[in-house]
Amino acid sequence: MATPSAGRSRVNRGSEHVRERLIEAAIGEFAAHGFEGSSGRRIATTAEAHQSQINYHFSSKDDLWKASVERLLAELDAQLVDPLAEVDGADARATFAATVRGLVEFAARRPELNRIMMHEGAAPGDRLAWFVDTHTRTRHEALVALWDVLVASGDAAAVDRDAVYHSLIGAASLFYANAPEAELLGIEPTRQAMIDRHAASVVAMFLNPR
């Protein structure tokens, strides 16, 4: 099989780097302004790219939005790997607590996902339907199944199973999505000691003490 020339490899790597920068710039833009208020010109400027390069790498603005969301979700899944690896998967209480820690750590580092979805979740639309069908539904079902186990064991607090998913996401992420407000109140939400205390607080909200 023929191998690409060294020059060709450099071009491909350079093109991929541009695509990565565009996604990162788009994440910030969609988080700050929502889909409708976002600007391709600002995304290109932030990425140190040309607007034409957005059209080269992405078939549409929707395609760029989906790529941005999927990048964040991939980072979220990666953030959950280590906490979940440290616990016995058969222990529902430990699994839930580890999930909370991963969610909080991710939200502190990447508040953009929650900000993007606050924009998008305010009204029905094709992007929201895609997000729910492609990503939310299986995550929701997995969390509710875990919650049912915790309810059966008496470990779950009095949170309705239909509300537990959004209650947990809000409790884990709003602190960081609204970090400027918290900072005006004299709180440093992204300080590691505060992140640790926040994660412990969220666990305490959802799990009964033993």
What is the spatial distance between Cα 155 and Cα 23, in angstroms, rounded to a whole number?
Answer: 41
What local confidence, expressed as pLDDT, does residue 12 receive?
A: 57
| Fold designation for 1-58 | Arc Repressor Mutant, subunit A (1.10.10)
Q: Write down the pLDDT at residue 15.
A: 85
pTM above 0.95, yes or no: no
Do residues 56 and 64 make contact, with C-beta atoms less than 8 angstroms apart?
no
- Which tokens belong to 7? 């020059």
Query: CA-CA distance, 113 to 110, in Å (whole number)?
Result: 7
Is there a contact between 176 and 188 (Cβ–Cβ < 8 Å)? no
Report the pLDDT value the prediction gives residue 14, as an integer from 0 to 100: 76
How high is the mean pLDDT in each 10-residue block of the chain (210 residues)? 45 79 98 97 97 96 98 97 96 98 98 97 94 97 98 98 98 97 97 98 97
How many angstroms separate the CA atoms of 145 and 151, rounded? 10
- Sorted by where each begins, the domain ranges of the chain are 1-58, 69-206
Taking a C-beta distance cutoff of 8 angstroms, is the pair 168, 81 a contact? no
CATH architecture of 69-206: Orthogonal Bundle (1.10)
pLDDT of residue 13: 58
Query: Do residues 149 and 141 make contact, with C-beta atoms less than 8 angstroms apart?
Result: no
